[in-house]
Structure 1
Amino acid sequence: MMFGKKAEPSHRAGLAEVDESWIDAPTAARSGPEFAVPPALVSRVRTEFFNRIDPSVAATMSPDQLSLRITQAVSKIVDGEKLQLNWLEQSAIAKELFDDIVGIGPIESLLSDPAVTDILVNGPDTVYVERSGRLELTAFRFRNDEHVLEVARRIAATVGRRIDEANPMVDARLKDGSRVNVIAPPLSVYGTIISIRKFSKDVLSLDELCARASLSAAMAEFLKIAAKCRLNILISGGTGSGKTTLLNALSGLIDENERIVTIEDAAEISLQRPHVVSLETRQKNAEGTGEVSQRDLLRNSLRMRPDRIIIGEVRGSEVYDMLQAMNTGHDGSMSTIHANSPRDALLRLENLMLSTQANSESRGARQQIASALDLIVHVERAASGRRYIRTISEIVGLEGDVITSQDLFCHDGSIEADDESFQQGFRGTGSRPHFADKIAKFGYTLQLDEVMRP
């Protein structure tokens, strides 16, 4: 026996007697689809393996111990059954078994691929990834619908949740920080859907983003001044446009002596600063209790003596408390919001205020927004997958019932070519910022004048 003796009758069924209906032509080599082990041989090894092991003993082993024992077990099965599998093929099957026991099945290796930013599982036979801003169909497959659901349940269990008909939707986070969303039948018509947004370990600076033609050198210098001089900044953009990447770059410019509190649904902000307190929301448990929202965390953070508050994404009732904090001594706060333009971002903030605050009225909401925010930085993802800053807009104030703004920098929307040609599309508008007095308090007036020079 392997991994200890199983608590079952000593007579073990032969391979011919084992129900293999759940092993529906799996692919081997979960370390990469380029390996092509015959599915029938994989099925035989898999069935024999799970017929011999004691899961309770396997669960007590460290990952290194378990990996070694699985490799030894596969080799023993191959020798005993006289299967024609070489060492590479045996290793691929062993890795598949390991990923099925402790990882997330056949897509485990995609998590370690630095070029992959998103993993999208649309049922057992369709797995897409995003590389360089473009979606690609991969050759990775699950065995069947039950295999996908099994992986989804394992992910949900890590955050104390369960997946079933009563709870078919779950948000979770993997050990590496990657954000996961699962939606299962009956809400999903064609099987269990798993969407993974990978956590990036590499934090890009503004200079590195400039080298990638995501913004101009003048824009980078301007944003450095804005972050150092404690302007309140909102980053807007669509899904996957690079909002969090830019937020990380901006937050890296904060003075090391400042106390920063970050608030997120799933921790993605990575600050290379010594005094950072990271807070993360908590969903309801299986009994429907225990939820802690971003608004709860934001209210609590105000009692933690923060110099700056950074909210990963504003999308609910926390908008009111965020704007209040910006207006009452927490200058230099930052957040992101889903929107198609700076004007849409302002409209979304207003709608959030009106929909979540009783007795709110439009002019009052606009007044708070106009007095709290200094800048809206709008990012976009081009058709080629390039992520770049489309506009940097200043919030001027409230005129009548309208929030007025002006563009300070923008991209002319020219068709993409190489990085150098695209870089030439960035330009300054020559407009004089109305927050120049704030910049003067920090002694950056000369630098601002130099950057804003057309």
Structure 2
Amino acid sequence: MSETPPQGGDRSPLQKRRPQLKGIRPPLKARPNQAGRPMPPNRPLPPRPPAAGPAANTPNNTNNAQSNDEQFAKLKSELHQQLIANMDLGAVGQMDDDQLRREVRQAAEELCRLRADLLSLADRERLIEEVLDEVFGFGPLEILLRDPSISDILINGPKIIYVERRGRLERTDVTFRDEPHLLQIIQRICNRVGRRVDETCPMVDARLPDGSRVNAIIPPLALDGSLVSIRRFSVKPLLAEDLVRYGSITTDIVQFLSAAVRSRMNILVSGGTGSGKTTLLNLLSGYIQEDHRVATIEDAAELRLQQPHVVRMETRAPNIEGKGEVTARDLVKNALRMRPDRVVVGECRGGEALDMLQAMNTGHDGCMTTIHANTSRDALGRLEMLVGMAGFDVPIWIIRKQITSAIHMIVQAARLMGGARKILQVSELTGMEGDTITMHDIFIFHQTGVDENGNTQGYFAATGNRPHCTQRLKATGNALPDDFFERRIMTTEGPSSK
């Protein structure tokens, strides 16, 4: 099928020669017991385009449209290899992304036309899209990353992928070809953010271009194949109205927390894994004044502050020689030299907790951070432990005194049965009694049980404890009504009963 190129004509930069099916063996015949094989239950396939034209009803076209997965994967691999073989790498380097994608699609469509007798129009389009995902994106993950309803993607080896939708896990039919294919995608993710993963460094934290957080661990530490966890974030940060609509918080609690942020109180957001700490921190940061200079410090950039004067910093892992590491503690110390009005740390995990407390106690009011803990009281204990990790031999009563004078408010988040995320407590630190930090709850979520679907039932309530910070709220122009903190049950719309 060779053809002499037209004289004087311009060939596509992606085609050094006309695409041809060089070295591609005929496809496998679909076995009768596999062509119509039903998919396993509860594992929905990604949607495919409907077959076009009346010819799709003929037996031959029906067999093509339902070609078995092995044949389809084989064709995709061969098409991918043929595209790479036909690329003019010198010309590719001079194209922008849009032009390159158009050229690759055009070349892929021409290659598919040569297989028109074996592929339906729908399968041809699906094949082209999946090959483009392999060339430009993250392969099989792309169809999941395009689904806005997915909040987590959990990969347990090349053949088992779960996703979380609305707090519930479900298995998908998306798979990788094999372990090398999965490793190739992991390497691509890491390369884009300057991270590395190999046998000498088999664990890595990274992020995707859309801000999604990625953790990967590969063999030999992962015994049954590489493991990847992807925590996704909304394209647009969730607003208070969204969280109220989901039942995660009430309008009264939002009103109080926004007043606390504007009054430059130091706030600690506490919660377990997947409880929505980062979402809540994003929400609270939205109430920071526009004219404040805000320094953010994170291990993997996730915060999306909307203020115009934000300086963002990210930690760096050591290189292959064990050098070049920049820790959160290094960045906190440096941030304090940058004349910030506020410092926001994505999560306190180590000795940077001490530097945060010192910043809060030396005029940097309005700081915020998150911590892993199951209750507000547990958050204080964990904070004490993290301060101890700074390497200084400080008596515990001094650490507790520093915490009491630095932290004004603890907001406790949780992921409950059924997948719902709620604010469980809004607590205020009130001082010390002996060596014990005292605090009281201002708002709580009271759990009453679960319904027939396994969803947590309960209600939000104001405890009746009047916070000590009311004078500060008034002094900063953020005063709340006198009866705002009276004991009552609240709905997501506001007070419902006294």
Letter in 2 for 1:440: K
- State the partner residue of 2:465: 431
Q: Deviations over 1:7-46 (max 9, x none)?
A: xxxx99622499xxxxxx9xxxxx9634455331441353
| TM alignment of 1:332-371, pairs within 5 A | 332-371=366-405
2:87 counterpart of 1:54: yes
Query: Is contact 2:281-2:369 (8 Å) kept?
Result: yes
Question: Comparing 293-302 with 194-203, which one deviates more in the overlay?
Answer: 194-203
Does structure 1 conserve the Cα–Cα contact (< 8 Å) formed by 2:451 and 2:457?
no
Match of 1:14 among 10, 13, 23: 23
2:173 to 122, 134, 139: 139
- Please tell me whether the aligned partners of residues 414 and 421 of structure 2 are also in contact (alpha carbons under 8 angstroms): yes
CA distance in 2, matches of 1:413, 1:55: 63
Does the residue aligned with 1:164 lie in a helix, a strand or coil? coil
Displacement of 1:417 after TM fit?
Answer: 6.1
Cα 1:292/1:117, change in 2 over 3 Å? same
* 1:220 to partner: Cα distance: 1.8
Separation (CA, whole Å) in 1 of partners of 2:482 and 2:239: 23
| Separation in 1, partners of 2:26, 2:147 | 40
Q: CA deviation at 1:199?
A: 2.9
User: Distance between the aligned counterparts of 1:50 and 1:254, measured in 2?
Assistant: 51
2:486 aligned partner, one-letter code = R
Kept in 2: contact 1:206–1:250 (CA 8 A): no
Question: Paired residue for 1:292?
Answer: 326
Structure 1 letter corresponding to 2:102: L
The structure-2 alpha-carbon separation of the partners of 1:271 and 1:318, relative to structure 1 and needing over 3 Å to count, comes to: same
In structure 2, the gaps of 5 or more residues are 3-11, 28-33, 35-43, 49-65, 488-498
Determine the C-alpha separation between the residues in 2 that align with 1:393 and 1:45: 56
- 2:113 aligns with 79
- Aligned partner of 2:367: which letter? S
Q: Secondary structure at the match of 2:164?
A: strand
- What residue identity is the alignment partner of 2:193? V
Candidates 275, 281, 287, aligned match of 1:241: 275
Q: Which residue of 2 aligns with 1:272?
A: 306
Which whole-Å CA distance do the structure 2 matches of 1:148 and 1:49 have between them? 16
Q: Note the C-alpha offset of 1:317.
A: 0.9
Q: Quick one: which of 417, 422, 425 aligns to 1:388?
A: 422
1:5 aligns with 2:12: no
Alignment of 1:206-225 (within 5 A): 206-225=240-259
Contact 1:316 1:352 in 2 (8 A): yes
1:42-70 CA distances to partner (integer Å, 9 max, x unpaired)? 41353254144337358534443343333
Q: How much does 1:437 deviate?
A: 3.1
Of 280-289 and 174-183, the range deviating more from structure 2 = 280-289
The C-alpha deviation readout for 1:92-112, integer Å capped at 9, x for no partner, is 111211111221110112112
TM-score, normalised by the number of residues in structure 1: 0.89
What does 1:405-424 align with in structure 2 at a 5 Å threshold? 405-415=439-449
Paired with 1:450 and 1:311, the residues of 2 have a C-alpha distance of 34
C-alpha change, 1:443 and 1:123, in structure 2 (3 Å) is: same
8 A contact 2:448–2:457 mirrored in 1? no
Measure how far apart 1:414 and its partner are: 2.0
Q: Is 1:33 equivalent to 2:64 in the alignment?
A: no
Residues 118 and 197 of structure 1 are in contact (CA less than 8 Å); yes or no, is this contact kept in structure 2?
yes
* Partner amino acid, structure 1, of 2:16: K
Residue 179 of structure 1 contacts residue 197 of structure 1 at CA under 8 Å; is this kept in 2?
yes
8 Å Cα contact 2:213/2:300 also seen in 1: yes
Q: Which runs of 4+ in 1 moved over 6 A?
A: 421-424
Aligned match of 2:239: 205
- Say whether the 8 Å CA contact 2:186–2:216 is kept in structure 1: yes
Q: CA offsets per residue over residues 97-135 of structure 1, 9 Å max, x none?
A: 111122111011211211111111111111111111111
Q: Is residue 453 of structure 1 aligned with residue 486 of structure 2?
A: yes
Q: Compute the displacement of 1:289 (Å).
A: 1.9
Aligned to 1:128: 162
Aligned equivalents of 2:22, 2:118: Cα separation in 1: 23
Q: Please say if residues 150 and 163 of structure 2, whose CA atoms lie closer than 8 Å, have aligned partners that are also in contact.
A: yes
Distance 1:255 1:175 in 2: 28
- What is the CA–CA distance in structure 1 between the aligned matches of 2:301 and 2:397, rounded to whole Å? 34
Is the Cα–Cα contact under 8 Å of residues 447 and 457 in structure 2 kept in the other structure?
no
2:202 equivalent among 168, 174, 191 = 168
* Counterpart Cα distance in 2 of 1:207 and 1:423: 21
Taking a change above 3 Å as real, the CA distance of residues 143 and 58 of structure 1, as seen in their structure-2 partners, is: farther
CA contact (8 A) 1:225 1:448 kept: no
Matches within 5 A, 1:175-194: 175-194=209-228
Identify the match of residue 444 of structure 1 among 478, 493, 497: 478
Quick check: 175-184 or 315-324, which moved more? 175-184
User: What secondary structure is seen at the aligned counterpart in 1 of 2:423?
Assistant: strand
CA distances 1:184-220 after superposition (whole Å, capped 9, x unpaired):
0011101111111113222223343223221223222
Q: Which deviations, in whole Å up to 9, do the C-alpha atoms of 1:118-160 show, x marking residues without a partner? A: 1111111111111111111111010011100111111121233
**Is it true that 1:314 corresponds to 2:348 in the alignment?**
yes
SS at match of 1:384: helix
Q: Shift in Å at residue 245 of structure 1?
A: 1.2
State yes or no: 1:232 paired with 2:245.
no
Q: How many residues align?
A: 437
Residue 114 of structure 2 aligns to a residue in which SS?
helix
DSSP-derived class of the 1:303 partner = coil
Q: Which residue number in structure 2 is paired with residue 117 of structure 1?
A: 151
SS at match of 1:415: strand
TM-score, normalised by the number of residues in structure 2: 0.81
RMSD: 2.8
Alpha-carbon separation, structure 1, partners of 2:276 and 2:210: 19
How far is the alpha carbon of 1:416 from its aligned partner? 5.2
C-alpha displacement of 1:423: 9.2
**Matched-pair contact (CA < 8 Å) for 2:465–2:486:** no
Moved more, 343-352 or 268-277: 268-277
The AA in structure 2 aligned to 1:383 is M
SS in 1 for 2:448: coil
Query: What's the offset of the Cα at 1:249?
Result: 1.2
